[in-house]
Amino acid sequence: MSVIRINQWLNKFRKYFFTYRDGYFDLPYLSNSPNLMVESFKRMPFTRYDGSGNVIYTKNMFTDGAMYFCELEEGLWIMQTEMEFKKNVSTNALYDQEPCDYHFLSYFIYNSPVKRQGFNGVTIPIQGWGFYKPGTEIKAYFNKGDTGIFTDFVFSKSWFERHIPLNGKHDFKPFLESGDTYKTWEDMVPGSERMIKEILALLKTNKPEESLIPIKIICLKIISQFFNSISTTHPLKPHAALRDSDSRLVARTENILRDNLITSFPGIDELAQTLNTSPTKLTTAFKTVHNNSIYQYYQQKQMELALEMLKTGGMSVKAAAITLGYQSQGKFSAAFKKHHQMLPSEIKQMAV
């Protein structure tokens, strides 16, 4: 039955694979359940599955990478994709008319290259978390050159209820009972990047009988720490949903800002004109996604780039300040410390 169901979905959406719209090539996929998601990817025209193991490969003009998957126990899956995007791509998790019972807890960490002459190899690290209720259409945007690891901890409602105690006044209960469908955060679990890479290394061994238990231990640790963090250091905040057109608008804005990190802030009016929208609509949509103004986001990405330039680019503090448009090294150092809680000179000393 699942094969017929998947084929019906593929026949309906095949024509939409990598269609171009608003600067991005669309990639829809079926995600009612992890098993259905895996089986649908196996049958897509741009993937390769060798008939064994726990990995599906993709290598084409749009993407180059692999998706690793493992059912850890009934109702709990781990799915990790290691990917390089060769074009601007928007991924879209869709659902058919059949019931959906799975939550997605997602963690992404990837590097976005600086597209300027003389900055070869310098990238901006991007990471974050998301929790999506069953049936939530998950839309994500990636730009040419983005490379990273995208992880989904996927669990059924019944598994969630049995294993994640939300007793008393846990901050997550009102969200589960509300009409909101998803939440996002920038940072939740200390050491998550290291643990995510450990899971990926174990999945790559393709030895489920040996790696299942260690993978499961790490996954349960991350899930537990995530929900503990919500109730302690990261309380939930209201999160408004956006239309697809507004999500694309924000993604295109992010792309323009990252391309201008070593020139100057374009300005709201110029951004709005470039994107063919109004300044009010642009700033409202951006604030909804990032809970920061456009300029605050721009400053944050500048400081993340500054850290990479000082750590890996071999650049002096003075040169970094000039490159990012600061009129004085002192102002640059103050902005850097506000974001990283360390002076840029201290970063240079650590890199020696």
Is residue 10 pLDDT above 80, yes or no?
Answer: no
Report the chain's mean pLDDT, rounded to a whole number.
Answer: 86
| Of 7-11, 148-152, 308-312, highest mean pLDDT | 148-152
Of 254-258, 310-314, 326-330, where does mean pLDDT reach its minimum? Answer: 310-314
Q: What is the pLDDT of residues 217-250, one digit of tens each?
A: 999 999 999 988 876 555 555 555 667 778 888 8
CATH 1.10.10.60-classified regions of the chain: 244-351
3-class SS string, the chain: CHHHHHHHHHHHHHHHCCCEECCEEEEEEECCCHHHHHHHHHCCCCEECCCCCCEEEEECCCEEEEEEEEEEECCEEEEEEEEEECCCEEEEEECCCCCCCEEEEEEEEEEEECCCCCCCCCEEEEEEEEEECCCCCCEEEECCCCEEEEEEEEEEHHHHHHHCCCCCCCCHHHHHHCCCCEEEECCCCCCHHHHHHHHHHHHHCCCHHHHHHHHHHHHHHHHHHHHHHHHHCCCCCCCCCCCHHHHHHHHHHHHHHHHCCCCCCCCHHHHHHHCCCCHHHHHHHHHHHHCCCHHHHHHHHHHHHHHHHHHHCCCCHHHHHHHCCCCCHHHHHHHHHHHHCCCHHHHHHHHC
CATH 2.60.120.10-classified regions of the chain: 2-232
At 235 the pLDDT is 53
The better pLDDT of the pair 179, 197 is held by 197
At 238 the pLDDT is 52
Identify the CATH assignment for 244-351 out of 3.40.50.2000, 1.20.120.1630, 3.90.1150.10, 1.10.10.60: 1.10.10.60
At 246 the pLDDT is 83
The better pLDDT of the pair 16, 5 is held by 5
**Domain 2-232 carries which CATH code?**
2.60.120.10
Is residue 177 pLDDT above 60, yes or no?
Answer: yes
